[in-house]
Amino acid sequence: MRQIGGRRQKPAKCVANYRSRSLNKPVKNTRDPLIGVLAANVLAGGLLCATGQSVSDYAVQLSAVVQTNPAQITLYWPADPNATNYVRYRKTRDATSWGTGLTLAPNATNYVDSSLSASAAYEYRVSKTCWNGSTSYTGEGYIYAGVAVTVTDTRGKIILLVDSSLAASLSTELTRLQLDLVGDGWTVLRHDVARNDTPVNVKGVISADYNADNRNVKALFLFGHVPVPYSGDINPDGHPEHLGAWPADVYYGDMTGTWTDSAVNDTRASDPRNWNSPGDGKFDQSTLPATLSLQVGRVDLANLPTFALSEVELLRQYLNKDHNFRHKFVSAERRGLVDDNFGTFGGEAFALSGWRNFAPFFGATNTIASDWFGTLGSQSYLFGYGCGGGTPTSAGGVGSTADFAANDPRVVFTMLFGSWFGDWDSQDNFLRAPLATRTYTLACAWAGRQRARMTSSLASKGIRPVMGSPATGI
């Protein structure tokens, strides 16, 4: 697998390397002087290159307008002059197949659906095939929409697992969190667990709740340094010296699969945290053994010494942020920021996790390529996506953990992507740093290699504190 920038042992070289390999913004035309650099890099990686495309060209940036009489949903997307064909699909949220698509004209920029039930919600997908004169490429867009869908006021049961070493200090704030979760439609099942317990014992607490009411227990909120399960022999950032066990909170969300600790024997990783041997308590599984039964999120602000506040005070600050956002004491403009420092990367186009999700949320014109800290110091965004060559504490072109400690970027929900910080349980880890900021940021997911598709899960299930990513845990 191709590396996504950065070498753990040589951060200085990593930065220089990143600068020579990456783009600061999507390529807009063939006169961009950086295109040659991109093409050379892609060819050096041995991959085919759709030269001249920008990352957003790989998305169909869908948005929707609905009306009640007659009931209809109109999908819109920006024109792509290179499109040779569009296909529209529709399904219910939980259907597993898209079925047969409906072919639209090559110059289509909208689709009107009037054969629907006003009270139902539908997930739409629009795919395009394109030819730019020298090469072909494809794009996809997804949106979840309904005309008059009933508000979800009962979400089921959420298990709140609290690190017991924090419970007394934060009792007021945790009680308020529980009330806020009730207000959001959840029934809260609270348990406090010791941070030095084993993941197997902690999972026993979760399983007992789930087995007592498996139809209604839907979600798991891990608060604090609840024991961190590790699993697998993986390196989704492509670095051989990062191969091994990664944090895997997905273990806690799987109620049916079998997890073993007998096969993997790999101690080549540069950080012993990633070593995995038979019987060491880290699981073997590199992929999920079963479909997850629970949504899983974690707020863990342990081991962040770059921030001035202690772990307890960082968590108190987080709970205050959470309460303030839920009650609109703090808000942000409904728009999405994309700070892409990788470009198309041989077609992987990591920043699609921004472009493809933000258009359905806010509209294509409210999805904006811009610099993270340069923009978010003075302008607010509800969502942000940033990617660049990484270290455990930074992503090139986005910023560093120290930047998050020194600033207060005005963005609430975030995705960050780059090498070395995806296994989030490390000191001053860059993926957790946004959660430790003062006023705004509540969530961060590692998204890019495995693109995030958020529209239907957020719309129907509620936003999670920290969003799940299979096999990597946060």
Residue type, 187: T
Nearer to Ca ion, 392 or 396 (CB): 396
- The residue range among 92-100, 109-117, 141-149, 268-276 that interacts with Ca ion, by the rule CB under 5 A, is 268-276
Q: Counting contacts by CB under 5 A, is residue 261 touching Ca ion?
A: yes
Cα 460 from Cα 180, distance rounded (Å): 18
The edge-to-edge listing of strands for the beta sheet with 186-193 is 186-193, 156-163, 217-223, 295-299
Residues in contact with Ca ion, shown as a per-residue x/- string from 127 to 156 under the rule CB under 5 A: ------------------------------
Between 282 and 316, CB nearer to Ca ion: 282
- Does position 266 interact with Ca ion (CB under 5 A)? The reply is no
Residue 386 tokens read as 């940033």
State which of positions 411-440 bind Ca ion (CB under 5 A).
Answer: none
Decide: is 280 part of the binding site for Ca ion (CB under 5 A).
Answer: yes
Task: Give me the least distance between CB of 339 and Ca ion, in Å please.
Answer: 4
Q: Out of 80, 123, 249, 339, which residue is the one contacting Ca ion (CB under 5 A)?
A: 339
Which residue lies nearest Ca ion, judged by its C-beta? Answer: 371
SS3 content of the chain, % helix, strand, coil (to 5): 25, 25, 50
Q: Where is 316: in which H helix or E strand? A: helix 311-326
Query: If binding is defined by CB under 5 A, does position 397 make contact with Ca ion?
Result: yes
User: What's the min distance (Å) between Cβ of 103 and Ca ion?
Assistant: 39
Stretch that binds Ca ion, among 126-134, 188-196, 280-288, 423-431 (CB under 5 A): 280-288
Distance CA(39)–CA(35), nearest Å, equals 6
Interface residue with Ca ion, options 282, 316, 410, 449 (CB under 5 A)? 282
Kindly tell me which of 71 and 398 has the beta carbon lying closer to Ca ion: 398
By CB under 5 A, which span of 91-99, 125-133, 228-236, 282-290 interacts with Ca ion? 282-290
For Ca ion, the closer CB: 276 or 285: 276
Asked if 330 and 440 touch (Cβ cutoff 8 Å), the reply is yes
Span of 6-14, 164-172, 302-310, 367-375 interacting with Ca ion by CB under 5 A: 367-375
Asked if 276 is part of the footprint of Ca ion (rule: CB under 5 A), the reply reads yes
Backbone angles phi, psi at 336, to 5 degrees: -125, 140
Q: How many CB atoms lie within 10 A of CB 78?
A: 15
The DSSP call for residue 102 is E
Beta strands in 209-353 (DSSP E): 217-223, 230-234, 244-247, 295-299, 336-340
Beta carbon of residue 351, minimum distance to Ca ion (angstroms, whole number): 11
Please, what is the minimum distance in Å from the beta carbon of residue 145 to Ca ion? 32
Nearer to Ca ion, 389 or 397 (CB): 397
- Check if the beta carbon of residue 148 is closer than 8 Å to that of residue 119: yes
Tokens of 422: 């995806």
In the complex, minimum distance from the CB of residue 282 to Ca ion, in angstroms, rounded to a whole number: 4
Nearest to Ca ion of 6, 297 (CB atom)? 6
CA distance 325 to 260: 40
- Cβ distance to Ca ion smaller for residue 409 or 462: 409
Q: Which residues of 313-347 are buried (b: 16+ CB within 10 A; e: fewer)?
A: ebbbbbbbbbbebbeeebebeebbbbbbbbbbbbe
List residues binding Ca ion (CB under 5 A). 261, 276, 280, 282, 339, 371, 397
